[in-house]
Chains A and B, each alone.
Chain A
Amino acid sequence: MAITAFAPGGGAVEQAPRKRPWTALILLAPGIAYMLLFFLAPFIQLIITSLQAPAASGGIGEYVAAFQLSNYADAIVEYWPHILRSFAYALIATVVGLLISYPLAYLIGVKLRALPMLQGLALILVVAPFFISFLLRTLAWKQILPSEWIGTHFSVVFGLIYNFIPFMTLPIFSSLQQLDMRLVEAGADLYASPTTTFFKVTLPLSMPGVVSGTLLSFIPMSGDYVNASREFLGGTDTAMVGNVIEANFLQTQNYPIAATLSIVLMAIILVIVATYVRRSGTEDLL
């Protein structure tokens, strides 16, 4: 369901005549193999790890196969503030990011439509930051921002917003680029003020872009561990669930807890995304 939200245009797919069913299978094989090898297998491994118990020898990082469901309870009890903080940060950053990206996308996709040169230039400016490493850019902000701001909630959310603006802007731009301006004229003709026309016509018609953009930002933001880490923009009380997973995995070598937190994060995101896509009612726009 979430995946369909990423398709910008939608549109009907022509049904090809089905002569040889195995042709389709051969064409799908590389994709299926890829998914099995790089998604399903690691995912099963992750579940197995999340249920492991410490080895009898008691050595650091040594675990044996088990069915220790209590790992989940332990992880949630210990780390619920981090989980909550992750989603709070991601939510705030998504909302603020949307408020910045929508006008930007509207400017590029609607206002600059008649000026293709400027439109191309503006798009390049949105994408240009991708040419420089994400880590470098985040480090640069650490130098630019006043040092007393670093390590606060503000600096982490700021970093998240900054890093994900292109992911938010581009899908919204793509939706608004296709907006039929004649519908906006029809709104004006039918007694709707520019503001009403925006909320009744423009915004609903750009919802596929808004849904894609917010998902493309919110999901990676929730699991982000760069912005909130102490080496970058974070401090002692800004750790997100990603930082906790990293610490458990690489520092304390508590693999079961790291795996458990990863699965909990994934499950929560899945529930949020499914609810969101259904609520936003974008299925029939696609």
Chain B
Amino acid sequence: MVDAEKFAESGADLELQAIQKRFPGFTAVEELDLTIPAGSFFALLGPSGCGKTTTLRMIAGLEEPTAGRIVIGGTDVTRLKPHARPVNTVFQSYALFPHMTILENVAFGLRRRKVGDPVAKAHEALTLVELDHLADRKPSQLSGGQQQRVALARAVVNRPALLLLDEPLGALDLKLRRQMQQELKKIQQDVGLTFLHVTHDQEEAMTMADTVAVMNQGRIEQMGAPEELYDRPRTVFVANFLGQSNLFQVEVVETTDRLIRTSAGSATIVLPRERAERDSGSMTVGVRPEKLRLHREAPAADGAVNVVGPARITDISFIGVSTQYTVESAEYGELQVFAQNVEAGPQASLGDEVWVSWSAGHTFGLADDPTATGPVAADFSTRAIATRAALAE
């Protein structure tokens, strides 16, 4: 489908050096350092108001950083106007020009840069997103998913060094979103551009990106490959935002070269030393819900298996591929257990007394505690809230 020769130009590195953005009343982005290598699919993941969209807008040139430098492909673009930057954006609202046809929308950037044969190139880009048959329509005559693809074609056709995606799939329904996720990833691989995707959808970030940076309150909390982030979150925020986690407050009892032995109430939780951010005092450890197993009797604890119990099942939801159990004990609070439905029939019922176990190697030790407010103190002044609301619009 794609003519590789046409889109041979590769993406460029993006470097953010100590980028900072302050608005009256609050700081949206705190001294951010980030390098995105050419040709990668990078996701900036975070809740709304974490500063991810502000970061994207600064890269696009739509917002001026208070401090710091933005370097694209070795050139400092910090002071360049948006139209002078080798960057294109797929906007959350699509921002298609309503008075132009789909074809003219896609050809817009090419015409501005006086690229030869803009109409043919625009048709080619529309073919890439399988919408060439709608080239003469106006944006208002297209469905949301089609508009999204036009917005993508309009950006990709310019072969920018860097393509910015600002939650472009947010308005689509689940099925269409899955389909677009796959298409986007395919297009990125085909054209070899550098993609920077901003999203609050952790599943979307994990399925699409090579590298995910989790952002919270203006800072990057953790960055890495999706598997790495999921398997070894370093902070409470990442452990809870990227998937779900069961967290325990523990006291370190003994530290060896390879293992950390901790006590959580009456239970002992063991974890590998290289999976922990701290190795003494009190700390927070966690484990993913699908790593847990339910038992009707207390299993024998050994060095390789952590056991917590007894607890009582307080909620069961049947998802289809799995069943989610909520178990509660006075000592550890609520725990989530996801069990694959490999066997027919109910495995446990409401009110049952159970024990929970998991392999010690699945435990991770975090750098902070659930009570911490995070690196930036939350600003709850009226002005800050108003500014944030205005930015969120």
Contacts and interface: CB of A to CB of B under 8 A. Distances in A.
A and B part of one assembly? yes
B154 to A, nearest CB: 7
B91 interface: yes
A201 B61 CA distance: 19
B88 interface: yes
Contacts of A285: 98-99
Nearest to A186: B95
A185 B95 contact: yes
Interface of A: 180, 182-183, 185-194, 196-197, 200-201, 204-205, 284-285
6 contacts: A186-B91, A189-B60, A189-B88, A191-B158, A194-B81, A204-B99
Nearest to B57: A185
B153 to A, nearest CB: 12
Contacts of A188: 61-62, 81-83
Contacts of B112: 190-192, 196
B105 to A, nearest CB: 9
A201 B97 contact: yes
A284 B87 CA distance: 32
Given A185-B62, A205-B98, A190 B108 contact: yes
B89 interface: yes
B99 A192 contact: no
Contacts, number: 64
Determine which residue in A185, A186, A204 has the highest number of CB atoms from chain B within 10 A of its CB, and name it: A186
A191 B95 contact: no
A182 B91 contact: yes
Given A186-B91, A189-B91, 18 more contacts: A180-B95, A182-B91, A185-B95, A187-B97, A187-B108, A188-B61, A188-B81, A188-B82, A189-B62, A189-B82, A190-B109, A190-B154, A191-B83, A191-B112, A191-B113, A192-B108, A196-B112, A205-B98
Interface string B85-97: 0011101010111
B273 interface: no
A259 B98 CA distance: 45
Contacts of A186: 89, 91, 95-97
A91 to B, nearest CB: 26
A200 B82 CA distance: 16
B138 interface: yes
B87 A189 contact: yes
B70 to A, nearest CB: 15
A196 B95 CA distance: 17
B341 to A, nearest CB: 46
A277 to B, nearest CB: 16
Contacts of A187: 83, 97, 108
Given A185-B62, A189-B88, A205 B83 contact: no
Interface residues of B, number: 24
Contacts of B96: 186
Interface in B98-152: 98-99, 108-109, 112-113, 138
A183 B109 CA distance: 13
Contact of B109 (A182, A191, A201): A191
Nearest to A285: B99
Contact of B95 (A183, A194, A197, A204): A183
Contacts of A205: 98-99
Interface string B57-89: 000111000000000000000000111100111
A181 to B, nearest CB: 10
A117 to B, nearest CB: 15
B46 to A, nearest CB: 21
A182 B93 contact: yes
Among B81, B87, B98, the most chain A Cβ lie within 10 Å of the Cβ of B98
Contacts of A189: 60-62, 82-83, 87-89, 91
Nearest to A205: B99
Nearest to B114: A191
Nearest to A284: B138
Contacts of B109: 190-191
A188 B89 CA distance: 10
A180 B91 CA distance: 13
B82 A185 contact: yes
B82 to A, nearest CB: 4
B81 A182 contact: no
Contacts of B99: 204-205, 285
A-B pairs, top 5 by smallest CB distance, nearest first, are: A186-B95, A190-B109, A191-B112, A188-B82, A182-B95
A204 B138 CA distance: 14
A197 B81 CA distance: 13
Contacts of B83: 187-194, 197
Nearest to B108: A190
A194 to B, nearest CB: 8
B138 to A, nearest CB: 7
Contacts of B81: 188, 193-194
Nearest to B138: A284
A183 B151 CA distance: 12
A196 B112 CA distance: 8
B239 to A, nearest CB: 35
Nearest to A189: B89
A284 B99 CA distance: 8
Contacts of B60: 189
A186 B94 CA distance: 9
A183 B158 CA distance: 18
Contacts of B84: 191
